Structures are given as structure tokens and as C-alpha cells.
Structure 1
């Protein structure tokens, strides 16, 4: 016998347990710590710039060719592109969870290489960037000058030169971006009046700069072969690229006949300025340079944030005087706080389990022995996690909290059975009692371990978002269960044989009184089972009615992905009327920031003025703020309440539109909480028509009670000046069409000429007209182009401007022009209800040439629906097969499985009345309940079969006897488990929503499984065993 070997060799059993614990301790200190495992799809971002082009031109000439090439790349799930009127194009390609991001980047890059030749020359000139990145913002750091000694341009470029590259090399950082594109640029500010005076065009200036600001290869003196051998070889070096503003001012445009020169400084102002002037950063109302630090897909967030802060601390030692940094927005604060709360919950659960065990076992020795199984099993689990490449995250920690009540179960069964045998047979030795007890309970212990593993292990084969969450949870529990089963068969009986005593004195009065009441309860329970067995048909009908009610209860509980969490911060998105200036946006956002900072719960606000957070592009009428809050224990109001209050206060603001949103519960799935849906037009409609259709959708959606803050990012009403060119006149006047367009770009736009070198970097040389000539639509009168005969022709002779409207940026999703629709569930509704509602509204309001597509967390929720049911069915199926193999009967496992619906019923009931949802945590809890409810049933069925087959009792007597005999261990293990879950049920603070989600359903299920199901398991054993006996008799067999 397996257990007998260890009972007779207690030192051997102890050594094995110590080895398991030591390897676990090593694994514990080697495991990374993070909020979740890699649950976000890898992202490859493609970026390009077509300077001077409007949004739709960028989409047509840049985005579409790239999308055509990338579409269908291996493991791609979807792609979305944004083309803006700043000329920027950003294309994000999302891949299946688990895809290697490096390989995905190579695959995308290879596809792009094949179509680069089709892109406009200006795009090829600046290049197409392809890089892997994460969509999860890890931190927002700020660089600022406390004493104002450094202006924003100097601060930005100090970050670009000395900080960003170092941050990008930190392990785990996907990208580090200083917002604003304020890199140094040599700005050539042309004066059209002076150009006209000297009969010079922008083309002349561009040509002169290209000629005189260039690096040319020269050669070497004395290099072989030469006729006369030279003892030395000299490299010839020349000054090619210009470096200073003075050198650019002195570029010669034209040599005059009198020997004088026309230089750039004669027709333009030259300054070292900024590449862009359309952004302002703020930290608590003061100038700052925000740096967004993105987490690499699959990286350890906590460790990466720690390394980033260490890098900032290292770099700050070399900061010039008057420069400082601060990290006011850090998502890992919530992660660390959540993990600390779960660890605290772990110890609270441990204490409650000890109390329950003492109540039932009545002495300290019997209580301590099963508790030894906890550290051995938990520590051993860490070793298993390390071998499998898992991490310490909320999912594995939840599993370990739940494991406390599970891993003591097997040990409790062993100790309780040994204690019972010792009291029933006063003459038996403790060692013999241990051996006899293991003969009786070894099979049930193995069955319980196999059943629990049968529930958990098949889940590991489910792919995708839900599969990854349940895999982490289930495998952690399976490892702990396997180790606890091994400990119960080895260490626990050997310790009992040594340390248990027959009489340890009288327990405390309350403990004795509790057990007296429990003995009475056992008799009542036995009588109740006998009553039910005598009324078989009636209670089978009740069971069937119960199953119908269970289906109805399932329909009542709303579904969602994961519960939203108060993460200690929220986001604010601001949009002013179309074409509002940066100055107007600055005034609005500074006022908002000042008002929000008056709230005592707010600690820091980072402002991005002129930046559209959703499109990732610079837009002067948009902005965003990251609002950081005090720690959870230092405030009485949640982030949800604050967001709801601010949304109500600012909803009717006539000057601008603003939305306050919570971050997504799982960083990286979306930029904000709520849903993201694309309305794709497949019928060739213009963006104006798409806007009209989507506006109807948004209007209808905001009337639905399930939805709030429904909006679209598409706005085709930006004031624009439409340019019409008279091509006949262009040819009539002898003009070159390319010169016309390049002249426009170099005056009312920004023309990128070439580069200059400074501070070890290359920067752009940009040409624009001075501000006074770009401030009115009459500017074309003062801009001239040279014709073939040398005459100067004003642009307004061939061009006409008309006022109009159009989009400032356009989106495409999976190769179709689309409008992004965002929104949030209304208070009291779930994300699943919101998704169903917006999908229904889209079906009712959009025409047949539209389709809808999901992105972010909504995509995961929609695509993963049904995965939880598959996991549940797989769990039931494997439990059935394992028990069928063990009992060598096909019908008897049904007696065990009939307990499962009661657990599901209790779980749903508790979740429904607490106002929670059918989310991934709930579904994961159901998996656990399959195993736990089956475990209780196994204890009854195993003993009933033994009483009937081995002791010769009738099926009726065996059913009642087994129920009474196992009532105590069932209630004891169930109550210990329930008490271990109570800290999850009553959790508060960081991450409490997820702890409520998993704890509530499991407690409800276990209460039902240990109070209602235990009456029905003997009933179905009685029915099935009677049926089996009838079959055997019919076949002419003698039933044992």
C-alpha cells in the first residue's frame, strides 16, 4: 500500500515535503510579478508622413497601398489606420494573443518592402517606420523646468537627445514617445514680398539649399595606383552640410552681374526653431514635456516600471540646472496595490480556515496536522509555476487563495477518518488506525484529485483571451491539488501516526457545544435523506423543475468581459469646435485643469494640449488629461463616482465637448474603458455620407438606457479652404504644375528640404512663409511662380480658394473607410449589455452597405463569448469520463454530476442579488465549483458503494449510512473553504471588483452544494444503483 510505506517511514515523508517546499521557495523568488499574464494582442505600428497632404489624400496614397500589402499577414486579427491633415499616417496591425511580436514585425516589414515604390516621393523621402509596440500606457513621465530657466523647446529636445533612447532600451518598454514633435528644425521663414522684389521663387530657394547644404564624397590623396609612390595616404574632408543659422542665412540664391550676391537672409528669416508648433504639454497647469511610456506586449509591468524609474534616477544625475522630472501617472501603483490586497486576503483566509478546522477537529494537534499541507502545497505550486513559465499575477494569486480551502480538504478527510477509527475502536493503535483509515480514504482522495484535475487541465487547451485567463487560474489550482493529494497520502498519515493522541483533554465549552449541535444536525440530515429516498419520484420531478429554473436564472444575469476597477486615475478627452486654435484649446484645458485640481482627491494632472489621444495625432482643437488620484484608503469617493459627476457637470458646456472615462480593466486591450466599434462602409460612400449615417446611430444610441457617452471620432465639418486649379491657365502661362504645388507647400505649408547635423543628430530644414502671409486666404496674391519665359505669375491667377468643410482625420478598418464609435455602459449596466445595445442600434439605423466590427476589449468580449461554456462542458465531460473509468460503470458518475447544477444555481443566485455579472471571473469560478461539488458527491458515493458492495447493506441503508457518515467531513471541508473565500467576498480597496466577482459566485455555489446537493446525491445513487441492480438481475447476474 502506497500510504503504508510513508506511515512506516515518517522521516522519508518529511524529507520529500521539505524538498517540495525548498524548490517552491526558489521558484517564488524567481517568478516575475505582474497584474495579468500576456492577455493583450501584439501590435505592429506602421508610420509615415506625407507633408502638406490632407487626410483623404494621405489615406488614398499612403494608407490604402500599405493596407493592401499587409492584409492577410500571418496571425493578423485586424488592422486600423488613421490619416490626418498633418500628413501623418498611423497603421496599427493587431495579432493573435501569443504571436511572437518580433516575427510579426518582420512579416509586416517584408510586405511593406514590396509596395514602397508605389508611395509618393515625399513619403519615400522621410521613410516608412515599422516597429512593434504595445497599446498599453505603462507610465506618463514629465520633464519640466521648475525655475523657468529652460523653455519648452529646450526641455523637449533635451528629452529627445538624452532620455528617449535610453528609455526605449529599458527591458519591457515597447516605446517611449515625447508628445509634440518639437524636435529642432532649421526654419526658413520666407517673405513673399521680398521674393517678388528680387524676382525669386520658392523653387530657387529650395534648389539653393539642396545644392549648398549637402554632404559630398571627395576622395583620398596618395591612394594606389599612382605613378610616384607616396609614403602617406590622406583623406580629403570638406565642409558639406551647414550647421548654424548664420551659415543658412548666407546660402547664395543668385550671383548678380555686379558681383553681389542674393542670399537667403535677404528674402527670409532664419532661426533654430521647432519642427511643429501645434502642441503644449502641462503638469498641474505648468509647462512640461510629457513622455508616454508604452509597455511591450508580454512584458512584466511592475518590473519594467521599476527599471524605468531607476533609469530616470540615473539620468537625472546629469540633468542641467533648472531641469527636473516627475512620474505623475503610473499604472503599476494599482497593480502593486491589488497584489498586496490579494496577499493580505491570503493570510486572512488562512486564519479563518484554521478556526473552522479547530471547531470540527476539537484539538490543536488535529488542526495543525492538516494545516501543514497548506505551506507545502502552496510553496510547491510556485515551483510548478516557475517550470511552466507562469508569473505571480492576480489570476495565479486568486487561485492560491482558493487553494487554501482546497488543499486542506484531502488532509482533513484523512485526519477526520483516522480520528473516527480511533474513537470507534479503543484497542487499535494510532499507527494501525492510520493504516486502516488510508485503506478507506485513499481511493476517494485519488478520485478527488483526478476529478479536480479533470476539470482544470482541459481548460489549458482553450486558446485566446478567455483561454489564457482560465489557463493561468486552472493550472495553478491543478498543481496545488496534485501536491495536496500527494501530501494527504504521504505526510499527513505519517504525522498522524506520530503526533495524534487518543485523548487530548476536553475542548473549550463553545467548541464542545458546537459539536453537540452538529451531532444533532447529522441525525436530522440522515432522517432528511431517508425521507427523500422514500419519495423518489416526487423529488426527481422537483429536480427537473429546478433545472428549468436554473436556465431562467442564467438568462437573468447580464454578461460582461471583466469587472471595471477603480485604478486610482481617469482620463479626460477634450474636443473644441472644429478649427479652434491651439490658443483657444489651451485656455479651455487650463481652466478645466485648475477646476479639477481643486478636488482634494486629485494629486496630479498631466495635460496634452493639441493632441488627439484616440487618433494619436496632433490636432489643435483636441486635448487629453491624465488625472491621478490619492490612494484608495485616503479618499471616500471612487473614480467611477468622480467620472460620473464630472461628465454630468461638463456635459452641457457650450464651449467644448469633453468626456471623462476610466481606464480599461486590463491595460492594453483598449485606451479607455467602454466599447469601441467601427461602422465600416462597403458601398463606396464618401466620409460626408458616412458621417451623416453615423450621426443618426450616435443620436439613437444615446437614447438607449444601457448606453452613455456614445460618440464618434469622425468629424467632416472642419472648416477648410478648397483649392481649385485652372489647369488650362497653368499651361497657357507656361507654368510647371509641380512648381505650383511645391510653392504652395513651401509657403502656406511646411516644406521639408533636407537635413542638417547638430548635437550628433540629423534635423530637418523646413521652409514656410512668415506668419503674416499665412494668416489670410488672400496669401495667394503675394506668392509667385516663374513661367518658362521668366515672367512671375501670381498663384491667384491659376488657383481659386473656396470655403468648405471636410475631415481633419479619417479612419479605415480592415481596408474599408470607417467611423469609430465609442461609448460606455450606463450606470447599472454591463459592458455586455452595452455591446448588445449598440449592435442592435447599428442594425436598426445603418443601411445594408454597412457592417460593424469591434476592436479593443469589445473585440475580445465578442469573440470570446461561448468560450466559458465550452470550458464548462469540457470540465463536466472529463469528470464523467474519469469517474466512469474509476467505477467501471457508465451510469454511476451521473450520481456525482447531479450535484453540479446546485452549485451553479447558488453561484448565479448570489451573483444576481449582488448585482454582479456573468464575466470571465464568474465562469472561472464555475469550473472550480464543478470540481468542488463533485468532490462532496464523491465522498458520499464512494462510501455508499463500499457500504453496499463490501458490507452487504441494502442500497437504501447504504445511501443513508454513507450520507450520515460523510456529512461531517463534507460540511467541515466546505465550511473551511467558504470561510477561506470570505475575504474575497468582503474585499475593499484596489482590485476589489475582481475579488468580488470571483468570490461571490464561488461562495454561493459552495453553500448550495453543501446544503442542498448533499440531499440529492444519495437519491441519485439510490436510483442509479437500483437501476444497475435491475439490469444485472435481468441479465441473470448475481449482484454483490
Structure 2
């Protein structure tokens, strides 16, 4: 008989001395890959987001949109690779975000944006400062976070400034660890030498802020000139120096009044104090049922691109242990509040265990149904194929994560088919005992099933490949499945053609009687015939069977329609962390946010699964990938806070993290009272690609008033549906603002320059950086900052008495009080203005919990509510699922969020599968219309 490709391969390897070497090489290469391939919990998704931040001092949000936002959007839209452009415009500031297509290099994305902005600086309006360009990517996400907090007994000896100083030293040591990437300190509050003016004393001595700031800057200036000759040598020349310490600054002469010197200490308080930032970080430590709250800072450590998270995190913690008792005092405890290396190891080990368990199950099944020899061959073939696949995965740039290992587990049942087919056919040919040698029988057995095996392998690969063409954020999640599973199938085929026949020949030396096997095979055959014969006996019966299968399929599909079976794109994973995000209305103070977050911590602390908590008030917690997409790193204002909750290991608790999150949300809603406009969100680590919100409705319309009215109506509908929770919006409430108006008549009367008024107010409330007080090696310099203390940042009579230069003042005193030339009133600012891809839009966001947890149910529920609602004089919005409206004259709603990922995933898979199904059909089925069937 003709051997074909498969028989020829088998003939060459069945007795070749290279075959065992190939087997050993495959095992060694796979073991090396298993030890060296990077491990992580989730696939790396490179989706660069570049923020372009522009300070628009004095501009209302509506004016800033026209003057800055739109020109920037036009500039960024011309950059190749930009997928979406988002912008948020508030009073005095514009943030435009360019999101690049998945897979773009983060550094290249930042360079493209920077070059494009620089090439179009002429399009930036006059008077607008140059934009600040900040890039963010997956490699900025910290894999280890270390929270430094004093032990309860020593809490009174440590303040945020001292903790910041310790964290800075620790940061300097840990960056020495190989492959450590970006590091930063969350909640840092460094010390400064603060010069805090006393407006009343300034007025008493007739000293203006401009005089005081200028004197400090001049006295703290140092520079060098060219070298000079000095007694036969060439000496460098240094001029000036830095101010040294509080006494040096306090005794600095500012001016004289009435022939008496006026020093800095006469008109200002010079103190060593933390920066007047509106933020706090607290750590909660459990002691039985009691919790202790102590001040804290958190050191976040990311890894370099391509580095192994397991190795980096292990090295960081090893270095940390060596610093305990040396750099880190005994009264400081370091809480490891995030360790992605540990979770990646646990997840990889868990999946590798299941992979081994699946292999053992298949080997045992084959041993019970076919025989020990076949089981032994399979026990060698499957690990060899898996290890070869891991080697190929490392070469393709994949890592060991839950998706790539799922691909291996998924393919194990398929990749064993090739080996089983070859093993069974060789066994069948040997059982014929027709005079052929075992060698010839084995080769002909492989040749007999070789072509069908090739077709089956190519068909499976063709069926898997459509997942490789999924675009968007879901692409990197699904990409490893077809790549790794297809590699496993190809390796499985070659192992079946080369190693399996060689192993069968080796194991054939101790053959047992085939009688039991023949009888067992006969029983299986008889069972199959008994089931298949009645169905295939007549054409009518076969047709009835197909109709029955079709009806059963329709009934199964109808279960989705009648909600008998609930669907979700990806199941929730059992994580060890949760976040509670607090958004109070604009104008809330840091103290308001702290009180609310403390109340939430008391509720969360009652749950037995909670190990530790960290509260971040007025500052952002170290962000994860979900926080990167949602821009949680930008949460830097007093009304925003976050409670990070660390749960016990999943092996030590009965409830999964999702059940804990649902329970926590219920308890918070019942026990924590929020002011009007306040929102609490319980945020879980998503099982798949992160989105801005699971349920996201974008409202489009002809003008801002119409969009706002429609959005408020839709938001009310969101809240009316029981299983839609954590409802929020993008427009918020108008923030309270203090409007300081300059009286032009008074300026003219007193001869005051408006620039002096503006500079005085800015210096009072914003502060001025004077420079640094240098302290030598190993002692970081202290910033010298000028401005009001934190308690003085308010408009009162004292601030109003601040002197400003006056040229025409009667009596020639030379100064006039600030309050004499300005008036102050309370007003409301503008709402946030959001734009996406050049369209104005207002967003309503929500999550799903309870009866339904897939966005499709929330979408349909809101759609039904929209149809039933009486919209009165307002136009009822059109509902869109796929794209932004071309005509915004009529209001419309576009569903986004997780739905968009679901739609893109199945759209791309459907298109790719439609292209792939034709060649697959050609391979496996004869075509009555003339297509040649290659199945033999």
C-alpha cells in the first residue's frame, strides 16, 4: 500500500536512533520553558492611553471646549493608531486622552503624541500654556504594594511626613532590585521649610508679598562664572548659596521701616511642616474583632516590560526582609497589600495541577478501556506535547497565565485524539496476525489513518483560528487560546507520527493476550451498533432524529429568552482584594470624605474574610489594570476617597470574593448615609478586559441642556431597576466656587496694578516654590515653600488685609489692603463636559448585581423602561447598540461598556469563522456540487 506522508514519516522514525533523542530534547526544551517562561495571572494587554493635560486658567468649561479641547482632538485624531479620543473639560482645565489600538507600544504612543503636539503648537491658542503629556500603560501597574504604618503602640511617634521619609529611603533601596520598573509613593506628604505669611503683620510693616517672595528667591540663588586667576592657580567662582535651616531664613532681612530692620520672622512664620495637601492615608490592622487605624503611606512597585512578575516580586520581598531591623525600625510594620507574583504563582500552579489531573484522567481512562500499553504510550505523549507547546508559547511571546493554561486544558481532549487513533490502529493491525511483521504492520497502520488525522488536525486548527482575529481589549485574552491550542494540535500530530510508533514497538516486547481486549472492544462496538442502528435504519428515522435534535436545540435556545438560563461573557474570579470607591459631591471637604470612609471601614471590618484595609482620602490608591482604564490615578481631590480591602486566601474562606462584594454593597447601602449626590461603588477585579463601567449608556443630543435632561431621566430609570447598582454619571454637580472680582475704579484710585492683585491672590492660595535648602550627601534637600498654612486657606478678614503695592495712596504709605480693591461672591462652576471621538456625550454608568449580572439584561430592562416612560415634552431617545449617531438633532442612547466588548468579540469571531468554515467543510465532507473531497 502507498504510505503517504504520515507513513513515510513513521517509517523514518520508528527505528531511528534519533527518535529517543528527539523525545529527550522535547522534554528538556519543555522543562526549560516551564521554568523560565514568565508567569502572571492575566495576559498582558498593551493598550496605551496618553493624557494631554492643559491648564486653562480663567476659562469656563464651555469656553475651554471651543478654545482648547476641539483643536487638541483634531490634532490627536491625525495620529496613526489612535482608536478613540476622550476628553473631559472642567473650569480651568482640559484633559484629552488618546487611546491607541491594542498592541501599540506604550513608549511609541507617547512619542507620537508628543511629536504631533509639537508639530502643531501654532494651533494652540495664544496665552494657553504648553500641554503636559503623560502616558500610561500596563507596565505602570504595580505588581507589589507595601503599606508602611506604625504599630499601634508607636502611632503617636510617626506622622505622614516621617513615614514619607522612611518610604523614600526604602524606595531607594528597592529600585536596586533587577527588573524593577516604575515606583511611586501613594499618600506621600514630604516635609518642607514653609514660610507662611501673616497678612496683618505684612500690612503693619508695609511689606508686600512680592517683596517677601523676591527677597527669599534672591537670597537662595547660587550660580557660577568663568574661572579666574588666583595666586597662580585657576579657580572656579561660585556666587551665592542656599538658605540653611529655619533660623537662617527667619533672620533674613527684608527691608527697613522707620529705621528699624524688618526680618522674615517679623512678617511670616517659618516652620518645618508637611505640605498643605488635602490627602490622608490610613491603615487598618485587625486584632481579633477590633481594628486599629494608624497613619500610613504605600510604596507601589511595578516591573519592567517583559519581566517575570513572580521573580521580581520574590526579589523585592527578599530585599525587604533584609532591610527589616536595619532601614525599617522595629516599631514599623510593612503590610504587603498586593503581590501579583504570589497570585500568579498560585493561579499557574492551580491550573498546572488541573492540567496534570486531566492528563492522569485520560491515561486512566485509556488504561481501563484499551489497555496498559496504550495508556503508557499516552502517558508519555501528552506531557511531551504539552511541554513542546509551552516551549512554542515562550517563543511566540506568550506567558503562563490563566488563559494560556486554559487553552492547554481545553486542547488536551483534542490533542490526545491523534495518539489514540494511531495507538488503536497499530494495535488492531497487530491483532490481525496476517503474517506481516510488527514493524510493517505498525507503519501501514499509521499510513492508513495518516491522511484523516492530518485533515482532522487542520480542521480543528481552522475552527480555532477565528479567535485569533478578535480585535479590541478581548483580543489579547482570546489570542492565546487559538495560538496555544493550535500549536498543541500540530505538535500532537507530529508526536503521534514519530514517537507513538516508536513507543509501541518498544512496549510490544511484553505483549499480553489480546483476547480480553478484543472482547472488550466488541462490547463497545455492540453498544454503539445497538444505539445507532435504530436511528440509521431508514431515511425517515434519520430525518426524524435530525428534527428531534433541531427541536431540542430550539428549546435549549429558548431558555435564554425566558431567562431560565442566565448568560455572562466571563465568570467572576475568586480574588483576594476589593475596592470601595467613594465620590462625594464637589465642595465636600477632606474631613467629610474621611468621616464617610471611616464609616464604610467599620461596616467592612465586620466581615470575617477581611484581613486588612487601607483608606486613601483625597489621593489615589495604587491603581490596577482596571484603575488604569478608569483613570483612578487621577482621583486627587478632597471629595474622592477609596477603601482598599484585602481578603483572606480563598482556601481559608467559604465565600467567593464576588459574594462578599455583593454582601458588602448591601451592608453599605443600609448603614452608611451619603449626602445628596454622593456615590459609593464596590469595585471588583474584572475577570476579563476592564471597561469604564459594566453598564454604560452614552447620551447624545443637539445641545447641552437637552443631553442633561435626557441623561437625568435615564439615570432615574437606571436606579429604578433593582439589579442595576452603583449608578453614577459623568456630568456631576456644579462645583461651588469663590468669585473674586477686581474693582477697576478702586485700582485707578489707588494706583494699583491688576497684575499685583492677581499675583498676590495666586501666591496666597497656590503658594510659591522658593527653592531648596541643601543638606549634603545622603540627606535629601528640603523644599522652601511660600504660602498660607492649610488652616489659613480661606477668605477672611485676615487674608483681605494682605497689602498690595499702591502708587497713589494718600499719605504715601505705598500699600493698600487687598480687600479694598476686590469683592468676593459665592457662585457655582460649570458641570464637567465629556466628549468621545468628537461628539458631545453624557454618560450614565452602573454595575449589575443580584438576579442578573450580564449587561445585556440591564440594557433590555432600561430599554423597556424607556418605552414605557412618559417623556412629556421631551423627545424620546433612539436606542443604538453599535455606533455613534450621524445626526445628533434627535437625542439618542448608545450602549457601551462590557456590551461593546461582547459585540466586537462575537462579530469578529463570526466573520473569521464564516471565512474559515468553507475550507473546513471542504476538508471533512464530500460536496454534492463537485467540490473534491480529500477525506480518504
Q: Same fold (TM over 0.5)?
A: yes
Pairing partner for 1:739 from 756, 761, 764: 756
Task: Quickly say closer, same or farther: Cα 1:172–1:558, change in 2 above 3 A.
Answer: farther
Query: Where do residues 289-304 of structure 1 align in structure 2 (5 Å cutoff)?
Result: 289-293=297-301, 300-304=308-312
Q: Decide which of 684, 694, 701 is 1:663's aligned counterpart.
A: 684
- Sort the Cα spacing of 1:547 and 1:609 in 2 relative to 1 into closer, same or farther, 3 A: closer
Classify 1:336/1:532 alpha carbon distance in 2 versus 1 (closer, same or farther; 3 Å): farther
Structure 2 equivalent of residue 788 of structure 1: 807
Cα 1:778–1:81 change in 2 (3 A) is: farther
Residue in 2 that maps onto 1:106: 111
1:278 shift after superposition: 1.0
- Kindly provide the CA deviation profile for residues 19-38 of structure 1, in whole angstroms up to 9, marking residues without a partner as x: 32222223322311122332
Cα deviation, 1:614-651, whole Å, max 9, x if unaligned, reads: 46232223211110111112111122222212212221
Corresponding residue number in structure 2 for 1:380? 388
Compute the displacement of 1:256 (Å): 4.0
Q: Equivalent residue of 1:494, what SS? A: helix
Residue 185 (structure 2) aligns with: 178
Aligned to 1:41: 47
- 2:720 aligned counterpart, secondary structure: coil
Secondary structure, counterpart of 1:32 in structure 2 = coil
Contact 2:199 / 2:799 at 8 angstroms: preserved in 1? Answer: no
Change (3 A) 1:101 1:6: same
TM-score of the two chains, using structure 1 as the length reference: 0.75
Q: What does residue range 832-981 of structure 1 map to in structure 2 within 5 Å?
A: 832-833=855-856, 836-837=859-860, 840=863, 848=889, 860-883=901-924, 942=936
Whether contact under 8 Å (2:749, 2:808) holds in the other structure is no
1:294 and 1:860 map into 2 onto residues whose CA distance is 27
Deviation at 1:608, TM superposition (A): 0.3
Q: Find out whether 1:154 has 2:162 as its counterpart.
A: yes
For 2:283 and 2:450, locate their aligned partners in 1 and report how far apart those are by CA, in whole Å: 65
| Alpha-carbon separation, structure 1, partners of 2:616 and 2:860 | 33
Moved more, 643-652 or 105-114: 105-114
Distance in 2 (alpha carbons) for counterparts of 1:757 and 1:243: 6
Q: Give the Cα–Cα distance (whole angstroms) in 2 for the partners of residues 812 and 730 of structure 1.
A: 41
- Cα distance per residue 1:532-554 (max 9 Å; x no partner): 44656656666776777787678
Q: 2:870 — aligned with what?
A: none
Instruction: Tell me which residue corresponds to 1:639.
Output: 657
Aligned equivalent of 2:849, options 817, 826, 830: 826
Kindly tell me the number of residue pairs found equivalent between the two proteins: 876
Name the CA distance, whole Å, in 2 between partners of 1:808 and 1:272.
38
Kept in 1: contact 2:577–2:645 (CA 8 A): yes
List gaps (5 residues or longer) in structure 1: 224-229, 895-937, 943-1040
Q: Tell me by how many angstroms 1:443 deviates.
A: 1.7
Q: Which residue, out of 521, 524, 533, partners 2:527?
A: 521
Give the distance between the partners of 2:903 and 2:276, measured in 1 at CA.
40
Once residues 174 and 678 of structure 1 are traced to their aligned partners in structure 2, the CA distance between those partners, rounded to angstroms, is 37
Other-structure match for 1:756: 772
1:769 alignment partner, SS class: coil
User: What's the counterpart of residue 336 of structure 1?
Assistant: 345
* 2:820 corresponds to which of 793, 797, 814: 797
Taking the aligned partners of 2:716 and 2:385, their CA distance within structure 1 comes to 56
Aligned to 1:447: 455
- Per-residue CA deviation, residues 819-841 of structure 1 (Å, 9 max, x unaligned), is 55432123243444167459858
**What CA distance in whole angstroms lies between the structure 2 residues aligned with 1:519 and 1:431?**
27
- Contact conserved, 1:413 with 1:441, CA < 8 A, in 2? yes
Q: Match for residue 898 of structure 1?
A: none
Alignment of structure 1 residues 710-725 onto 2, 5 Å: 710-712=727-729, 714-725=731-742
1:359 and 1:515 in contact (8 A); partners too = no
Describe the superposition over 1:548-605 as per-residue Cα deviations: whole angstroms up to 9, x where unpaired.
7787678777665432222121111124455333233323323432442232211110
More helix by share: 1
Which of the numbers 26, 30, 51 marks the counterpart of 1:24?
A: 30
C-alpha distance in 1 between matches for 2:355 and 2:412 = 8
Q: 1:539 to 1:860 in 2, by over 3 A?
A: closer
Q: Aligned partners of 2:441, 2:690: CA distance in 1, in Å?
A: 57
Residues 583/608 of structure 1: CA separation in 2 closer, same or farther (3 Å cut): same
Q: Matched residue of 1:562: which SS?
A: coil
Cα distance in 1 between the residues matched to 2:72 and 2:194: 31
Q: 1:769 aligns with which of 788, 791, 811?
A: 788
- The residue that corresponds to 2:439 in the other structure is 431
1:674 partnered with 2:680: no
Q: 1:463 to 1:814 in 2, by over 3 A?
A: closer
CA displacement, residues 464-506 of structure 1 (integer Å, 9 cap, x when unaligned): 4344333311121222211221122222223323433796248
CA distance change for structure 1 residues 756 and 503 in 2, over 3 Å: closer, same or farther?
closer
Deviation at 1:129, TM superposition (A): 5.4
Rounded Cα–Cα distance in structure 2 between residues aligned with 1:98 and 1:771 = 45
Separation (CA, whole Å) in 1 of partners of 2:861 and 2:108: 36
Contact 1:180/1:278 (8 A) holds in 2? no
Query: Which aligned pairs between 1:260-271 and structure 2 lie closer than 5 A?
Result: 260-271=260-271
- Cα distance in 2 for partners of 1:4, 1:490 equals 5
8 Å CA contact 2:254–2:263 kept in 1: the answer is yes
Alignment deviations for residues 185-237 of structure 1 (CA, whole Å, 9 cap, x no partner): 332211111111112222222222233232333332129xxxxxx63110111
Match of 1:141 in 2: 146
CA contact (8 A) 1:109 1:130 kept: no
Kindly state the Cα deviation for residue 516 of structure 1 after the two structures are TM-superposed: 6.1
Q: For structure 1, which segment, 127-136 or 403-412, has the greater mean C-alpha deviation from structure 2 after superposition?
A: 127-136
Q: Find 1:9's aligned residue among 15, 27, 34.
A: 15
Q: Residue 78 of structure 1: CA displacement?
A: 2.6
Question: Which residue is 1:282 aligned to?
Answer: 282
Contact 1:61 1:120 in 2 (8 A): no
Partner of 1:359: 368
Determine the structure 2 residue equivalent to 1:401.
409
Residues 534, 594 of structure 1: alpha-carbon distance in 2 compared, 3 angstrom cutoff: closer
Distance 1:494 1:529, change over 3 A: farther
Q: For 1:368, which of 370, 376, 380 is the aligned residue?
A: 376
Helix, strand or coil for the counterpart of 1:237?
strand
Query: For 1:496-537, what per-residue CA distance to the aligned partner results, in whole angstroms no more than 9, with x for missing partners?
Result: 2343379624899xx999756424313314523541446566
SS in 2 for 1:709: strand
| Contact 1:569 1:662 (C-alpha < 8 Å) held by counterparts | no
Query: What does the per-residue CA deviation read over 1:724-751, in whole Å, with 9 as the maximum and x for residues that have no partner?
Result: 333344334422222112212233x122
Cα distance change of structure 1 residues 536 and 586 upon mapping to structure 2, 3 Å threshold: closer
Residues 529 and 153 (structure 1), Cα distance of their counterparts in 2 relative to 1, 3 Å cut: same
User: Separation in 2 of the partners of 1:25 and 1:398?
Assistant: 19
Aligned to 1:188: 195
Distance across 1 between alignment mates of 2:484 and 2:129? 51
Structure 1 residue 138: deviation in Å?
3.2
What is the TM-score when the length of structure 2 is the normalising length?
0.83
Which of the numbers 453, 461, 475 marks the counterpart of 2:483?
A: 475
1:727 equivalent to 2:744? Answer yes
In 1: Cα distance, 2:634 partner to 2:713 partner: 26
Residue of 70, 83, 86 corresponding to 1:77: 83
Q: Does 1:350 align with 2:366?
A: no
Q: Work out the CA distance in 2 between the residues paired with 1:332 and 1:838.
A: 41
